[in-house]
Amino acid sequence: MIRIKRILVALLFAVLIVPCFAQTMIHPKGGFLGFHPLETPNRHLFENALDANEQWVVEPNLMVSVETYLRGTKLSWRFMPGFYVDAAAQPALFFHVGIKYRILQIFRSSFDLAVGPTYNFRQDWHQYYNYVEEGNFNLNGKWENKFYVLGELEYKFFLTERWDITASVMYGHEWETFTFTMGVRYWLSTLIKHPINCSSCPFGDLPGERGRR
Of 196, 187, 205, nearest to 25 by C-alpha is 187
What is the structure's pLDDT at 210? 54
Interacting residues of 144 by C-beta distance below 8 A, sequence separation 6+: 121, 122, 123, 124, 125, 137, 138
Mean pLDDT, residues 187-208 = 55
The SS3 call for residue 173 is: coil
Whether 159 is in a domain gets the answer yes
Provide the 10 A C-beta neighbour count for residue 64. Answer: 16
What is the structure's pLDDT at 113? 97
Categorize the per-residue pLDDT at 199 as very low, low, confident or very high, splitting at 50, 70 and 90. very low
Q: Does residue 11 contact residue 78 with C-beta atoms inside 8 Å?
A: no
What is the structure's pLDDT at 192? 60
Whether 131 is in a domain gets the answer yes
- Determine the structural domain holding residue 60 and report its residue range: 2-187
Q: Does residue 119 contact residue 99 with C-beta atoms inside 8 Å?
A: no
Whether 207 is in a domain gets the answer no
pTM of the model: 0.79
Measured CA distances, 116 to 20, 64, 97, 194 (Å): 22, 15, 6, 23
CA distance 73 to 108: 14
Q: Does residue 42 contact residue 134 with C-beta atoms inside 8 Å?
A: yes
**DSSP 8-state code for residue 49:** B
What is the structure's pLDDT at 144? 95
Q: Does the pLDDT of residue 211 top 90, yes or no?
A: no
Q: Does the pLDDT of residue 12 top 60, yes or no?
A: no
Whether 205 is in a domain gets the answer no
Whether 29 is in a domain gets the answer yes
Interacting residues of 127 by C-beta distance below 8 A, sequence separation 6+: none
141, with CB counted inside 10 A (0-12, 13-18, 19+), is exposed
Which residue spans within the chain are E strands per DSSP?
24-35, 56-71, 75-85, 91-106, 109-123, 138-140, 143-158, 163-171, 178-187
Q: Does the pLDDT of residue 38 top 80, yes or no?
A: yes
Whether 72 is in a domain gets the answer yes
Whether 211 is in a domain gets the answer no
Residue pLDDT, tens place only, 40-73: 999 999 999 999 999 999 999 999 999 999 877 8
Q: Does the pLDDT of residue 208 top 60, yes or no?
A: no
Q: Please count the structural domains in the chain.
A: 1
Q: Does residue 103 contact residue 195 with C-beta atoms inside 8 Å?
A: no
What is the structure's pLDDT at 78? 96
What is the structure's pLDDT at 34? 96
Q: Does residue 212 contact residue 94 with C-beta atoms inside 8 Å?
A: no
Q: Tell me the average pLDDT of the chain.
A: 84
Whether 202 is in a domain gets the answer no
CATH of the domain at 107: 2.40.160.20
Alpha carbon 8 to chain centroid distance? 17
What is the structure's pLDDT at 22? 56
Provide the 10 A C-beta neighbour count for residue 86. Answer: 25
